[in-house]
Amino acid sequence: MNSETQAAAEIVSYEPATGEEVWRGTPGNVDETVDRARRAWPAWAAQTLATRIELVRRFANEVRKEAENLATMIARETGKPLWEARTEVESVVNKVEISIRAYAERTAQRKLDSALQGTAAVRHKPHGVMAVLGPYNFPAHLPNGHIVPALIAGNAIVFKPSEKTPATGHLLAQCFHRAGISAAVVQVLIGGPEEGQALVAHDGVDGVLFTGSAHAGIAINRKLASNPGKIVALEMGGNNPIVIWDTPKINDAAVIVAQSAFTSAGQRCTAARRMIVKASMYDAVVEEVKRIADRIIVGAPFDEPAPFMGPVIDNRTANGLTESFVYLLTNGGKAIKHMVRTQESLPFLSPAIIDVTGMDERPDVELFGPLLQIVKVDDFDEAIAEANNTRFGLSASLVGGSPQDYNRFWANIRAGVVNWNRPTNGASSAAPFGGIGLSGNHRPSAYYAADYCAYPVASTEVEQPRASIGVGLRSD
């Protein structure tokens, strides 16, 4: 292989905030990585549950020791503010105890004794080798949300981090290894889409745990449609609504909207993409949301004072978002706050707000960035219909309204996360997390991750064989 080919094959991550190189490496060999995991899996699965739990608790301690380095790397590779990267590291640590509790509750061993029928038992077995495909927006927390429950259940892991955040993936894996979990049981596979596709399709992989775009998730689902033996869990984002209804607390409502739409520069699968607001409240709420958006500090991760949001992940993403804003504007949208590229060569974007009420056809896509669309409605039925006017179904919030309004909202909204007077994002790891439609395939993660990391085995057991046939036999 000549030097030019070698360079072309390398995976390189860059700091969104500076454009500087963070990490460089060559793609891994999928066959060798999966083979190594298959050889390591039986010994890991044979460990007692108590041993596996002890080792993941040691992992949590290793992350605590490495917390500042890991947060710094997350901030560098994603561009998110350091304060936010630190909260991500805290989530990685907290996930361990949550997963231990979830495994005990969701996959506990159960026995029912009967004197004549013996014992009826339900136990769980690991699937084998699990492929974990991580996203760039939470490059430690989200893949960790698959890895830890899968390890507790007794699976071996092949983790392919996003090609945009490979260094964070490496640091995370090193914490597992330093905790005493074999480097063959938790492996990092560096690569891009080609390696990801090969990993998904590999015969030696027993399950695929994916977090990312609907486009990629649908491709995985299609690829594995003829292979029902491979467990697949897809978490694919959303076109999430936040409905603003009757409330005198305009500032609080606007703050919740800003948190929902602009935290992490809008790069959260649960971010509010659409604000649906009662017509009589429109002027006051929109004015306050814009006032808050105008105050938001956009900056680099380590800036002082600390920014509320950093850049989006890269220039290609920034270009796509600005083009999307222009598309909405030229097809009937009314700009409330323009999207501004604050630095020409770097992917810093200002928060943007656009009223799309007058558009004949509003695109049902996930615009993954700080772009909030507004729709004005006259009554609550129209608000619910507009909120459900999407193929996605991840998260939705009602801000304001009465308890009766919220009951109607909860009962009729199509989403896996439904909140009242809270942001659309910031879901708890102690609850199930997943959506419907293009947001997932009914395999919710977080607290319910235990469900797809092991399969139930039903048994009836008697110590000595005892049987008779009471009807339908000729006499001796």
User: What pLDDT does 462 receive?
Assistant: 87
Classified by CATH at the fold level, domain 3-236+440-460 comes out as: Aldehyde Dehydrogenase; Chain A, domain 1 (3.40.605)
Other Cβ atoms within 10 Å of 319 Cβ, number: 13
**Class of 240-420 per CATH?**
alpha beta
- The count of C-alpha atoms lying within 13 angstroms of the C-alpha of 204, restricted to the half-sphere facing its C-beta, is 17
Could you give the residue ranges of the DSSP H alpha helices within 370-442? 380-387, 403-412
Q: Where are the domains of the chain?
A: 3-236+440-460, 240-420
Other Cβ atoms within 10 Å of 198 Cβ, number: 18
User: What pLDDT does 463 receive?
Assistant: 86
User: What string of DSSP letters covers 332-378?
Assistant: T-EEEE---BSSTTS--B--EEEE-TT-SS-------SSEEEEEEES
Q: Which residue has the tokens 């609080």?
A: 252
Predicted structure pTM score: 0.96
How far is the C-alpha of 263 from the C-alpha of 80, rounded, in Å? 9
- Looking at residue 235, the DSSP 8-state letter turns out to be E
Q: Pick from 292, 298, 382: which is nearest to 336 by CA? A: 292
- Burial label, 219 (beta-carbon count in 10 A; 0-12, 13-18, 19+): middle
pLDDT tens digits, 39-62: 999 999 999 999 999 999 999 999
How far is the C-alpha of 116 from the C-alpha of 178, rounded, in Å? 50
Q: Which residue has the tokens 């896996």?
A: 416
How far is the C-alpha of 344 from the C-alpha of 329, rounded, in Å? 21
Q: Pick from 234, 271, 270: which is nearest to 449 by CA? A: 234
User: What pLDDT does 285 receive?
Assistant: 98
pLDDT tens digits, 243-264: 999 999 999 999 999 999 999 9
Q: Which residues are catalytic?
A: 235, 269
Low-confidence ranges of the chain (pLDDT < 50): 1-8
11 in Cβ contact with 190 (< 8 Å): yes
User: What pLDDT does 115 receive?
Assistant: 62
How far is the C-alpha of 381 from the C-alpha of 387, rounded, in Å? 10
How far is the C-alpha of 378 from the C-alpha of 376, rounded, in Å? 7
- Burial label, 61 (beta-carbon count in 10 A; 0-12, 13-18, 19+): middle
336 in Cβ contact with 374 (< 8 Å): yes
Q: Pick from 160, 205, 230: which is nearest to 36 by CA? A: 205
